[in-house]
């Protein structure tokens, strides 16, 4: 399920940046080493009148919004 930015903020997530597939993978590894949890979420897509994504390249190299929060935050214990 895709969560909204406001829902993620309430859970303690901080939005960092938008990354392509390879950069997102690197970000997960680096933030993990630094002691953060990482949540990747696809950006909200824009649709054309015919219902297609406006970016044909998107399916080949999907972008993700990178969110982080300190590991062991109180929100983790609720799940």
The pLDDT value given to residue 67: 98
Residue 72 has a pLDDT of 85
Spatial CA neighbour of 68 closest among 32, 25, 35, 39: 39
| C-alpha dihedral sign at 73, 25, 16, 67 | negative
Averaged pLDDT, 35-61: 68
Residue 48 confidence (pLDDT) above 70: no
């Amino acid at each position: 399920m895709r969560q909204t930015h406001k829902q993620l903020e309430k859970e303690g997530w901080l939005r960092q940046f938008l990354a392509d597939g390879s950069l997102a993978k690197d970000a997960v590894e680096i933030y993990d080493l630094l002691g953060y949890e990482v949540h990747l979420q696809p950006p909200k897509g824009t649709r054309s009148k015919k219902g297609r994504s406006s970016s044909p390249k998107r399916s080949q190299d999907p972008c993700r919004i990178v969110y982080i929060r300190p590991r062991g935050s109180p929100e983790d214990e609720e799940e």
